[in-house]
Amino acid sequence: MRIAPFWPLAAATFVIGVAATFYFNEYYFVAGYLVLQGLIMATAWNILGGFTGYVNFGSAGFFAMGAYTSVVLYTAINPPLFVVIPAAAVVCGLLGLGAGYLTLRLRGVYFAIATLAMAIVLETLMVNWEYVGGAIGAFIITEDVPFFASYNAYLFVLMLALAIGSVALARYLNFSRIGRGLAAIRDDEVAAECAGVPTLRLKLISTTVMGAMMGVAGALYPYFVTFVEPVSAFSLIVAVNAIAMPMIGGTSTWVGPVIGALLLGSVQEWTKVNISSELNLLIVGVLLVGFVALAPQGIVGLAQKFAAWTREQREKRRGDDSATA
Amino acid sequence: MFSIDLLSNALVAGLLLGGFYAAVALGLSIVFGQLDIVNIAHPAFVILGSYVVYMTNTALGWDPVLAGVLFTPLFFALGVAVYRIYYAGFERTGRESLAGLAFFFGIMFILEVVIILIYGVDYRLVEAAYIGQTLRIGIIDLPYRMLVPFITAMAMTGGIAFYLSRTFTGRAILAVSQDRLALELMGANPIRIKSLAFGIGLATAAVAGALLIIIGPVEPSFGRLYIGRVFAIVILGGMGSIKGTLLAALLIGVSESFVQTFVGPSWADAVAFSVLLLTLVVRPQGLYGRL
Amino acid sequence: MANRIVVDNVEAGYGTVQVLHGVSVTVEAGETVVLLGSNGNGKSTLINCIMGIVRPKAGAIYLEADGERFDLVGRTPAQIVDLGITLVPEGRRLFPALTVEENLMLGAFRKEARARIEQNLETCFEAFPPLRERKTQQAGSMSGGEQQMLAIGRALMSEPKVLLIDEPSVGLAPILVSRVIAKIRELKERRDLTVLMAEQNFNQAIKIADRGYIIVHGEIAFEGKSAADLQDNDMVKQYYLGV
Amino acid sequence: MTQPLLDVQELSKHFGGFTALDQVSLHVGKGERFGLIGPNGSGKTTMINCISGALLNESGRVLFQGQDVTRLKPHQRTRLGIARSFQLPRPFSSMTVLENLCIPLEYAAKERSRLARRQEEAMAILELIGLADKAHDHSGGLTQIDMRKLELARAMAAKPDLLISDEAMAGLSGSEVDEILDRLFTLNERGVGVIMIEHVMKAVMRFSQRIVVLDAGAKIAEGTPDEIVNNPLVEKAYLGE
């Protein structure tokens, strides 16, 4: 599904986003930041889950390792963010590459469970690593940046740029030679291999890109919360959202996770403030279960069905008209 | 610090813990090991068991073990219902892998949040005369809060093993995932057998939940740590072999106890997950591999 | 007791592939009838139709027992087993991780069979002594011949009146094939069974056949009124090798 | 002597204690129509899995156009020119028929091409196979005969020199068998060597120039269809002793 000119739309979104930081109060870009974080995670998850057909339950692990890469760098040399972000991408990309090799031996549920196990093992490592604060956690002190209204506004704009970049990459993958190969793997790995698709290499690309993207989403997290400890960095809600958003939006194209993330993310931020943060979690769970059971193609699928239905109705009506005429 | 005293106590504590782990993994051993249903929400159902036991313990003063046993019919019915939904929504339409996983992932999450909405995130505990007391045999300490769960777990595991190998329905449960059609050719209805098995799987969660809250205070997100343990145990135990499950549970219990004693408590949680990862990569058929 | 199976003009297939194009077969009480023909011609599909595994698109299948007529189309395999029809499936389909004894006990799942379970187990071990020796061994770890015996034994545990056997020779060495075939005749006589057997091994199958049909391409190409009738037919080779 | 297209030398494969193939050799010439037959469980499927790379054999070698491909992965063999169809159709079910063909056209090709060019080529193959009118249908919803055709078409889209057709006719009606057979003859006329694995004897006998018979993992006969039909060993393998 191609939505009208992507790049102009992306540029406009970015400009509006930047402008908005000067007119709205702090709360909106804190909420906005979290929605965008979810969007990157969902987009990343979908590259493996939706395009390639491998379920990753360990998204929180990749996210947290991105965050901890920042913590390590901050503690060691406190480099600027444009160094931190690529570093997190590299670390988590390598982690993703490792997970990719798991696909050699593990399919389906076993792969999913292995990724979950991987996340918990990483969490324990961080809990026991004094350098990054262990179980207690580590503080990050941020400095004001020029031009932006506040540090959070700055992070919001950065996140917006990263989100647009991630979506653009997912969109590219979706429609490229690689994306077509991944779709073949998702449909039937054996048949894909026999059609000349180098399945292992493509799966490795898929897991690496997924890992790197999640690492990027996590890289700014320490600067956003200014305090990182394992329990919140490896939070299950990160993993659940990364799955729920694509499932709700629709997993077969790059658009689904974007729609799912914007929708679910906004609903979550709204309920968090207006009702309670527990209820917001309940909503995620209920929507996830509801969508996988009743609308497996997600919102995108529902929209396509609806479009097909209206087209049919219109044709039927036209048929009736010509019959009466 | 490496004394006989410490060593033997770590071993005994590990065995007691492992016995309890067997009770937690038992239901999953049936549901995942025998039926191939990836009920990742099983530990969440165990936590649900803990909270219903907590409720009757504080409100009515029921003994936790007794309460756990009394709740098994309710959990059984819940299990049958969950399986029917799963069957209608996923298994019958052949979407069990990706969508089915997400389904149970969502259920796990819902259970956790519902408990938080009702009871909050604080730790809860139960009261019984034996909790807090310790049986001492020589240099070995046997705290009742570990001993009672261990004995109950062994009784339950033995009972389930007996049921599976000695009754017609039990054997049918063992057979259903090996060859569904062949079972149908024996005159059994596979869907009925699977509903029963799933129900039994969840019924064990009520008892396991009671044992969990006897051992120590419980909070709603406790279940997550058990995901790795139960899957490690079931897979290491060879997918559905009760003997294998028990052995793997004891092994994990002892390993965790040793790591806790000699390395540090903060590393203990990773033991099961590391074992799981290793098993998956190196020997996916587990200790007692199914053919 | 008279048990007669009638397959009347059945059309069936999988998805959009039609495998059987109007097949009619009867098996009279106490007969051994064989379905012959090389693989992929529809023998198994026909057996699966009788057993309720495949639902025919057209035609009727029924069991006549003691003057009563039971329609088999639309019944589940479990219900058909309850009528006293049991299948020894192609490829044996044992429960590989269960022991020999557990496999046999599962054969007696049907309510009517549970009462005489000890007796039937004993008969089974008598007929197949190796099974007694390997009672506690995992079924999947046995040799092909032993597995085939177990599959037949398991089917007999349900006390069938009609026994359907699908390709008992597949994957067996020639010497074992003749042993299994001979065993089927022996059991048939001892238990007073009605047998319908699908088998690609022509020369072995006709050793025990009272009558037989050759199925080619989903149609009955030849109906032999007796074993001799089948044996002396010059067309057999043509049907098999497609010359 | 010219070098054969495919040269399988003393191939062996075991599964646990079971010998699926025991030192089997065979060769297929350029543009030859070759039949591989045998009773159930004789090792035919193992053989083609070893040729196409889905399984790795323990001993023996597979040479393709003189090159040793024994250790190559399936996709590498496909790129060299060995394509196969599957007995149970395995379409890329989220894609249209045309898109199914575009996968090998893109991935098995020796050089990159534009999408429009690939679609043209895919259409040409679909015309040949007789699926052109279904090009934009979803492959998951095809009828069985069309799925079989799609299997062949997708294998053709890899532009092979050797096509392995794995029971493309099982369960099809007489006229449908003739239809598929016609397509295979047409492909063969364009210089593609074909290995046909088939239970439908009439089809193999009509199609093949040369036939190899496997029984219990060993080669028991080799020759023209006439020779095979009159070979007592073959008769024994099929009719029993």
What confidence tens digit (pLDDT) does each residue in C157-215 have? 999 999 999 989 877 777 888 888 999 999 999 888 999 999 988 888 988 999 999 99
The average pLDDT across B252-258 equals 93
Cα distances from A291 to residues A247, A295, B109, in angstroms, run 7, 5, 15
Which residue, among D207, D224, D200, has the nearest Cα to D87 in the 3D structure? D200
User: Shortest CB distance from D41 goes to which of C170, C201, C237?
Assistant: C170
Pairing label, strands C194-198, C162-166: parallel
Query: Could you give the CA distance from residue A166 to residue A172 in angstroms, rounded to a whole number?
Result: 10
**Residue-wise over C208-232: b if at least 16 C-beta within 10 A, else e?**
bbbbbbbbbbbebbbebeebeebee
Q: Does A192 touch chain B (CB under 8 A)?
A: no
Is there a contact between C64 and C6 (Cβ–Cβ < 8 Å)?
A: yes
Neighbours of chain A (3+ CB pairs under 8 A): B, D
Interface touch C106/B181, C-beta < 8 Å = no
To the nearest 10°, the Cα dihedral for D214, D216, D219, D225?
Answer: -30
Cα distances from D223 to residues A197, B76, D179, D196, D212, in angstroms, run 36, 65, 26, 15, 7
Distance from the Cα of B60 to chain A's closest Cα (Å) equals 28
Q: Cα angle at C189 between C183 and C192, to 5 degrees?
A: 125
Would B290 be classed as within a structural domain?
Answer: no
What confidence tens digit (pLDDT) does each residue in D112-127 have? 888 899 999 999 999 9
From the CB coordinates, do chains A and C have 3 or more pairs under 8 Å?
Answer: no
Backbone angles phi, psi at B169, to 5 degrees: -65, -40
Interface touch D201/C204, C-beta < 8 Å = no
| Other C-beta atoms lying within 10 Å of the C-beta of residue D148 | 28
Residues in chain C: 243
Instruction: Report the chain A residue with the minimal C-alpha distance to residue D90.
Output: A191
Query: Could you give the CA distance from residue A253 to residue D218 in angstroms, rounded to a whole number?
Result: 49
Is there a contact between D214 and D43 (Cβ–Cβ < 8 Å)?
A: yes
Strand order in the sheet with D162-166: D82-85, D162-166, D193-197, D33-37, D210-215, D218-223
Return the DSSP state at B32.
I
The average pLDDT across B99-124 equals 89
- Chain B hits for A106, Cβ within 8 Å: 280-281, 284
Stated pTM of the model: 0.87
Distance from the Cα of B272 to chain A's closest Cα (Å) equals 9
Is there a contact between C80 and C52 (Cβ–Cβ < 8 Å)?
A: yes
Total tally of structural domains belonging to chain B: 1
Largest alpha-carbon pair distance within chain A? Answer: 83
Distance from the Cα of B255 to chain A's closest Cα (Å) equals 15
pLDDT at A120: 85
* Nearby residues of B130 by Cβ (< 8 Å), 6 or more positions away: B144, B145, B148
Interface touch D74/A183, C-beta < 8 Å = no
Would B287 be classed as within a structural domain?
Answer: no
Domain holding B176, by residue range, is 4-282
D201 pLDDT above the threshold of 90? no
From the CB coordinates, do chains D and C have 3 or more pairs under 8 Å?
Answer: yes
- Chain B hits for A134, Cβ within 8 Å: 266
Cα distances from C180 to residues C135, C168, C206, in angstroms, run 19, 8, 13
Largest alpha-carbon pair distance within chain D? Answer: 58
pLDDT at D68: 94
Query: Could you give the CA distance from residue A62 to residue A91 in angstroms, rounded to a whole number?
Result: 9
Instruction: Report the chain D residue with the minimal C-alpha distance to residue A179.
Output: D103
* Nearby residues of A208 by Cβ (< 8 Å), 6 or more positions away: A93, A94, A96, A97, A100
Interface touch D238/C200, C-beta < 8 Å = yes
- For D120-126, the CB contacts below 8 A with 24+ separation are D121/D157, D122/D98, D122/D157, D123/D98, D125/D101, D125/D153, D125/D156, D125/D157, D126/D97, D126/D98, D126/D101, D126/D153
Q: Does B290 touch chain C (CB under 8 A)?
A: yes
Dihedral sign for Cα atoms in the order A34, A35, A38, A44: negative
D141 pLDDT above the threshold of 80? yes
pLDDT at C1: 53
Distance from the Cα of C126 to chain D's closest Cα (Å) equals 28
Q: What's the mean pLDDT when you consider all of chain C?
A: 89
Q: Does A272 touch chain D (CB under 8 A)?
A: no
The average pLDDT across C48-76 equals 92
List average pLDDT for each run of 10 residues in chain A, which is 325 residues long: 73 87 84 94 94 90 95 91 94 94 79 86 89 87 80 91 95 93 93 94 96 96 92 88 92 92 91 81 87 87 89 82 61
Instruction: Report the chain C residue with the minimal C-alpha distance to residue D241.
Output: C203
Backbone angles phi, psi at C68, to 5 degrees: -95, 150
Q: Does C89 touch chain B (CB under 8 A)?
A: yes
User: Shortest CB distance from B291 goes to which of C53, C105, C140?
Assistant: C140
Q: Does A240 touch chain B (CB under 8 A)?
A: yes
To test the contact with chain A by mutation, choose from B109, B256, B260, B271 the residue with the greatest count of A C-beta atoms within 10 A, namely: B109
Single-letter amino acid, residue D219 = K
Q: Does A106 touch chain B (CB under 8 A)?
A: yes
The average pLDDT across D202-209 equals 90
Distance from the Cα of C155 to chain B's closest Cα (Å) equals 8
Query: Could you give the CA distance from residue B168 to residue C138 in angstroms, rounded to a whole number?
Result: 18
- Chain A hits for B109, Cβ within 8 Å: 236, 240, 281, 284-285, 288
Interface touch C38/D201, C-beta < 8 Å = yes
Of A37-41, A223-227, C144-148, D39-43, give the lowest mean pLDDT range.
D39-43
3-state secondary structure of B100: helix
Which residue, among C233, C92, C87, has the nearest Cα to C176 in the 3D structure? C92
Backbone angles phi, psi at D10, to 5 degrees: 45, 55
What confidence tens digit (pLDDT) does each residue in B64-78 have? 999 999 999 999 999
Is there a contact between B153 and B143 (Cβ–Cβ < 8 Å)?
A: no
What is the per-residue DSSP string for B263-289? T-HHHHHHHHHHHHHHHHHH-TT-TT-
B127 pLDDT above the threshold of 70? yes
To the nearest 10°, the Cα dihedral for C190, C195, C199, C202?
Answer: 70
**Residue-wise over D93-103: b if at least 16 C-beta within 10 A, else e?**
bbbbbbbbbbb
Query: Could you give the CA distance from residue A272 to residue A88 in angstroms, rounded to a whole number?
Result: 29
C71 pLDDT above the threshold of 70? yes
Q: Does A246 touch chain B (CB under 8 A)?
A: no
The average pLDDT across B203-210 equals 97
3-state secondary structure of C195: strand
Q: Does D95 touch chain A (CB under 8 A)?
A: yes
To test the contact with chain C by mutation, choose from B163, B185, B239, B287 the residue with the greatest count of C C-beta atoms within 10 A, namely: B185
- Chain B hits for A296, Cβ within 8 Å: 95, 99
Pairing label, strands D6-15, D18-28: antiparallel
- Chain C hits for B35, Cβ within 8 Å: none
Which residue, among B202, B196, D225, has the nearest Cα to C243 in the 3D structure? D225
Q: What is the CATH number of domain D1-75+200-241?
A: 3.40.50.300
Structure tokens at C15: 């998805």
CA-atom Rg of chain B in angstroms:
19
pLDDT band at C243 (very low <50, low <70, confident <90, very high): low
Q: What is the CATH number of domain A6-324?
A: 1.10.3470
pLDDT at B290: 43
- The alpha helices in C39-162, defined as continuous H runs, are 43-50, 77-82, 100-107, 111-114, 117-127, 129-133, 144-156
Interface touch A247/B85, C-beta < 8 Å = no
- For D:118-157, CB contacts with A below 8 A are 154, 157
D55 pLDDT above the threshold of 80? yes
| Other C-beta atoms lying within 10 Å of the C-beta of residue A107 | 14
Interface touch C78/B187, C-beta < 8 Å = yes
Residue with the two structure tokens 């659940």: A240
**Residue-wise over D158-170: b if at least 16 C-beta within 10 A, else e?**
bbbbbbbbbbbbb
ipTM of the complex: 0.83
Alpha carbon A272 to its chain centroid, in Å, reads: 20
Interface touch A288/B266, C-beta < 8 Å = no
User: Shortest CB distance from A288 goes to which of B106, B274, B284?
Assistant: B106
| Cross-strand pairs, D18 | D15
pLDDT at D169: 82
Query: Could you give the CA distance from residue C44 to residue C198 in angstroms, rounded to a whole number?
Result: 7
Interface touch D94/A187, C-beta < 8 Å = yes
Residue with the two structure tokens 């005489």: C116
pLDDT at A66: 96
Find the distance separating the first CA and the last CA of chain B, reported in whole Å.
45
